[in-house]
Structure 1
Amino acid sequence: MPPIHRRDQAMPLRTLLVHGDADSQMPVRMSLATDVARRHHAKLLVIFALQGRSAAFLYAQHAPADVVSRQIRAERLRAARIGARLADRAARAGIGLAWRAIEGRPDTVLAQQAAAADMLVLSQDSDDAASPLVAPVTLAAGKPVLCVPRGGPFASCGRRVLLAWNGSREAARAAHDARPFLRQAERVILFTADDETSAGTSAEDAASHLAADGISVEIQRAPLNRRDPGQAILGAASDHGVDLVVMGAYGHSRLREWAFGGATRTVLRSMAVPTLLSY
């Protein structure tokens, strides 16, 4: 039976680490992270991964040294401008924000810096992403990841929560990591597929444990009927109008690259609301 963590081990949210970049989804994930930080009295840490120097090694033979040097300086300057702008906006909103620019691949940098935060905030990978972030960061960081769907914005996150439950260690970890959200939620649905539950903790025992921490949950069951468990989770989230899905992440290392298992991959490919992943 996978352990369900003691209530005094559930830590509050104090620091949210946000992936800093100049991509089109940066305003969406910053908006959501700011809203979560405000509700939980947390601060924000924005991490920019600088790849200019590593790119210089790849293209040094094809580009003059002064061109490469200018690209590196421009990347640092861009991160500094974005970081300063974000810090100013956060200060006006009464939220503490610090930012750092660190050289390295984004997945490596974010996973390494996760030790300085309670949760990471990343955007959903695009279908054609050359270097996906969510899988390698979630499976290597050792901290929960709040994945924000592309598009947005989102009016709320964590008021109506669907907790996907199959009795596994990963599900128990997700329930533990989501405690700050579950305690503030107006409604928590513990969703389980009768033919998917493992030999671990039952939905009733999980609900009883959460109730001991003052978290009231509704148990909802649905048969898979040969559906992918991920599709069942997506359907339940839509049916109940939730604004946050919480689930355990399942993954493995393949050819030195981290990859998600089927249900997790299905949810993240078609997600419509923010999803909290724990591994």
Structure 2
Amino acid sequence: MKSLLLHVQDDPGMEARLQAALAIARATSGHLSCLHVTPISLYIASDGITGAYMMPNFSKTLDEMEKKMRARIEAHLKTEDVSWDYEHVEGDAAQEIVARSSLADLIVLGRYHHRETRYTPITLIGDVLQSARAPLLVQPQDLMTFDIFGPAVVGWNGSFEAANALRAALPLLQMASAVHIVTVEEPKPLLLPSLAASTYLSRHGVTSELHARPVSGKPVEEAIRETAGVVGAGYIVMGGYGHSRAREFLFGGVTRTLLKECPIPLVMGH
């Protein structure tokens, strides 16, 4: 993965996803593009008469905060032996990330503890995941590294989304010390069984181990997390939002649950 796109924002997960992006850039001799998006609509007020405006003092404060963050990140990057660039734009974060991800191999986003709103991590991740062609790395805020050379788990359900995630994550899986493909047995056969995923990986020089978990009332996401814990996985590869996001919001789902609760990074495709 030679081209990494990192979402820059002053939030609790910034340092964790920066460290994850740097770990991958070092291992792949890749280039790190830092994209800082100011969602200016958050800071625009309206008096109902003259239209929208931003208070001058607040605008100045916001500008100073952004300059300090940029200086801090650039100072860090200058100490690293990786190629990088930094861009700051104003607009909708998801739209700007998607627009600049067309030639990215991986988009690095963060997941941190926060009540859900229009501009919090799980919403941004969902918006980007459903529109971008590049895979996403979703990094937990408490994990200051990405174990690129350790074991990896693939959550497999035979879906189009899972296949996309597997193909997109191939450069990472080729560097993993072991790859474990996890499926939960279902009465109806999968369109693409786990053996097909294993065969695909083998053609690219990746040996994998199959884990078929029985349906025992335990949620799929729990089976994936448990296997990841047992094998000491550094990350999980999975398809995202196989069902509609509205359905997952109302009834729960593997994607939504893992985005909220998984302690290790997720590499996701849609």
What range describes the TM-score normalised by the shorter chain of this pair? 0.7 to 0.9
Judge conservation of contact 1:237–1:245 (CA < 8 Å) in 2. yes
Shift of 1:244: 1.0
In the superposition, the TM-score normalised over structure 2's length comes to 0.87
**Which whole-Å deviations, capped at 9, do the CAs of 1:148-191 have from their partners, x for residues lacking one?**
11212236235200011111111111110110011111100111
Percent of aligned positions that are identical:
23
Query: CA 1:135 to 1:55, structure 2 compared with 1: closer, same or farther past 3 Å?
Result: closer
Amino acid at match of 1:237: A
For 1:70, the equivalent position in structure 2 comes to 60
Separation (CA, whole Å) in 1 of partners of 2:126 and 2:34: 19
**Which whole-Å deviations, capped at 9, do the CAs of 1:201-236 have from their partners, x for residues lacking one?**
111122122112111001111113122211111111
Shift of 1:278: 0.4
**Which is further off, 155-164 or 29-38?**
155-164
Separation (CA, whole Å) in 2 of partners of 1:127 and 1:64: 26
Q: How many residues align?
A: 261
1:84-103 correspondence runs (5 A): 84-89=74-79, 93-103=80-90
For 1:111, the equivalent position in structure 2 comes to 98
Q: Which residues of structure 2 form unaligned runs of 5+?
A: none
Judge conservation of contact 2:106–2:137 (CA < 8 Å) in 1. yes
* 1:159 match: secondary structure: coil
Judge conservation of contact 2:36–2:87 (CA < 8 Å) in 1. yes
Separation (CA, whole Å) in 1 of partners of 2:3 and 2:223: 32
Shift of 1:107: 2.0
Separation (CA, whole Å) in 1 of partners of 2:250 and 2:24: 28
* 1:184 match: secondary structure: coil
Q: Which residues of structure 1 form unaligned runs of 5+?
A: 1-12
Separation (CA, whole Å) in 1 of partners of 2:210 and 2:33: 36
Judge conservation of contact 2:148–2:175 (CA < 8 Å) in 1. no
1:39 aligns with 2:27: yes
* 1:99 match: secondary structure: strand
1:157 aligns with 2:151: no
Separation (CA, whole Å) in 2 of partners of 1:115 and 1:262: 28
For 1:6, the equivalent position in structure 2 comes to none
**Which is further off, 123-132 or 236-245?**
123-132
174, 177, 196: which one aligns with 1:186: 177
Alpha-carbon RMSD:
2.6
Shift of 1:77: 2.2
Separation (CA, whole Å) in 1 of partners of 2:72 and 2:59: 20
Separation (CA, whole Å) in 2 of partners of 1:198 and 1:223: 13
For 1:142, the equivalent position in structure 2 comes to 133
* 2:63 match: secondary structure: helix
* 1:190 match: secondary structure: strand
Shift of 1:57: 3.0
Judge conservation of contact 1:252–1:261 (CA < 8 Å) in 2. no
Judge conservation of contact 2:12–2:112 (CA < 8 Å) in 1. no
